[in-house]
Amino acid sequence: MLTLRHLAIDTVRENVAFLNRRCTRYHVEDFLGLGRVEVRNDGRSLLAVLNVVDDPAIVGPDEIGLSDPAFGQLGLAEGSAVHLVPPTPPESFELVRAKVGGAALSDEQLAAIIRDVTEQRYSKIEIAAFLIACASFMTTAEVLGLTRAMIAAGTRLHWEGLGTIADKHCIGGIPGNRTSMIVVPIVAAHGLPIPKTSSRAITSPAGTADTMEVLANVDVPMERMQALVREAKGCLVWGGHVRLSPADDILISVERPLAIDTREQLVASILSKKVAAGSTHLLIDIPVGPSAKIRNAGEAVRLRKLFEHVGDRLGLTLEVAITDGSQPVGRGIGPVLEARDVMAVLRNDPAGPADLKERALLLAGRILEFDPAVRGGSGTRRARELLASGAALAAMERIIEMQGPPPAVATLGSLVAEVASPADGIVSSLDCYRLARIARLAGAPTDKGAGIDLLRKVGEPVRRGEPLYRIHASTNADFTFAQAHAAESSGVAVG
C-alpha cells in the first residue's frame, strides 16, 4: 500500500497521479508504458494520468500524489492507504474505433461512451479521437442520442410548482455581448422564473459568470440557487456546483485546443445543459457576422433547424433569434468594463450603450412571450416598460443582494494605452476575434479589470491620431503583450 498525498496542483479537469521514480512498493516501469494508473481503496477507484517525479519533497518513495481534481474525485482523506493496479481500457473505446471507421452509433452506444468520459476513464487523446470522429461524420439521430446521453450522465434539476422555466443562451463569439445580465432581471421582474447558470470564459475575455462576479458571488451551491429562483425569480450563477452535463465540460476542455466547434457538438453541448437545468422554454441567440462563429445567413438557418429538431424531441419549447454579429456589443470587453455597460443599461443611463440595450430588449421580449399572458408581438414593449420603470434594476439589485458580495473588489486596470486611428475616415469594421485576443492578452478574464474600452464603433467618424479604443491592464507583462498585439493589427478598419 502507498500513502495518499494531496498535491495543490490544478490540472484542469484532468486526473493526474505523481509517483516517485524510486517507489518502494511498485516498479514504476510497469506503468510507464500505459501512461496511466488506477488508484484504489475502500471500494473507490480513480483512473489517472501518471507523472513520475524524482524529488522526494514532492512525493516520497512510499507515497502516491494526486492533483487537485483527482484528489477531490477520489474522495479519500490525505494519508489514506491506497494500492495501484494497471488500468483497464474502457470497453466503450471500441465504439470510438467504430466511429472513427465511419459507423453511426446508437443511443446506447453513445451513452456508454459518455458514461466513461464522465467517470474520467478516457485520456485526452482518446477523447480527441471521439471528438474528431464526430466532427467528421455525425447523423441527426446521433446528435439527439449524444444530447440525451450527456443529460443522463449528470444532475438534473426539477422546479416543481414553478410552471414555465425560461432560459436563454448565446452561442458566443461576440465580445461584450452581455445581454443575459440584462435579460434575466427583466424576465424576473415580470415574474417568469429564469435560473441562469453560466460557465466561466475559456477562450473569450469574459463569460457571464466572470462579469457577474464583479457585482456578486456566483459560486452558489445548488440548494441556494434553487431558493434564489423561488424567491427572486432569477439568478446569475456559475454552473460548476450544479454538475449539469459534466461530460460537456470534459469534452470542451479538449475541443478548445483542437479548435473543434461543429454545429452538431454545439447543439448537443448547449441543449444537454439546458434540459439538465430543468428549462422548459429556451431562447437561442445566434449572432452572424464575418468574424463571428457563424459567418452567414445560410449557416445560421442550418444551425437553427438542428436546434429546433433536437429541442422538439427533448420536449423543449425553443425559439431561435438570429442577430447581428458584425461587431462587438456595447463598449467594454472584459469583466469590469462589461459590468459597467450592463449596469448603465439597467440604470437607464443615457450614456449607456444603445446597441446592448436594444439587443437585450429584443431577446427579453422574445422570452416574455413564452408567458401566455403576454400577447404575441408585445414582448419587447413589456420588456421596455420593465426596464424604463426601474423594475429590472430592482430585480437585479435583489439578485445581487441574495447571491452575496463578490469574493474580491474588482477595479479597472490602471495601466492604460490608447490605440489611435491611422487615418481620417469612418470605422468600417471591427474584428471580433482580434479584439477579443487583445483583451485576453491584457489579462482578461483572470484579471477582471483588464480589457478594452471601445471608443468608436462601426459607422462612427474618426480623425487621424484620435483613439479607437483603450487597453486596460494591471501587470506590465500583460500590458506589453496586449500593446504588441494591437500594434501588429488593431482589429479596427478605418475607410
| Active site residue ranges | 261
Q: Give start and end residues of each alpha helix (H) in 350-474.
A: 354-368, 379-388, 391-403, 432-441
Q: What is the dihedral of CA 110, 113, 114, 118, to 10 degrees?
A: 170
Query: What is the Cα–Cα distance from 329 to 204, expressed in whole angstroms?
Result: 14
Question: What is the gyration radius of the CA atoms in the chain, in angstroms?
Answer: 24
- 366 has which bridge partners? none
φ and ψ at residue 247, rounded to 5 degrees? -60, -30
- The 10 Å Cβ neighbour count of residue 89 is 15
CB 204 within 8 A of CB 230: no
Residue type, 244: L
DSSP codes, 251-269: HHHHHHHHT---HHHHHHH
DSSP codes, 281-293: EEEEEEEE-TTSS
Query: What is the Cα–Cα distance from 69 to 250, expressed in whole angstroms?
Result: 12
Q: Which residue has the cell 441556494?
A: 224
Q: In the structure grid, which three cell numbers stand for residue 278, read together?
A: 430543468
Residues 6 or more apart in contact with residue 291 via CB below 8 angstroms: 173, 431, 432, 433, 434
φ and ψ at residue 19, rounded to 5 degrees? -125, 135
Q: At what angle do helices 263-276 and 246-258 cross, to 10 degrees?
A: 150
CB 5 within 8 A of CB 59: yes
- The 10 Å Cβ neighbour count of residue 254 is 23
Q: What is the dihedral of CA 492, 340, 224, 190, to 10 degrees?
A: -100
- 330 has which bridge partners? none
- The 10 Å Cβ neighbour count of residue 417 is 18
Buried b (16+ CB within 10 A) or exposed e, 355-365: bbbebbbbbbb
DSSP codes, 145-165: HHHHHHHHTS-----TT----
Helix, strand, or coil (residue 159) = coil
* First-residue to last-residue Cα distance in the chain: 71
Q: Which residue has the cell 427572486?
A: 232
Q: In the structure grid, which three cell numbers stand for residue 410, read together?
A: 474588482
- The 10 Å Cβ neighbour count of residue 461 is 12
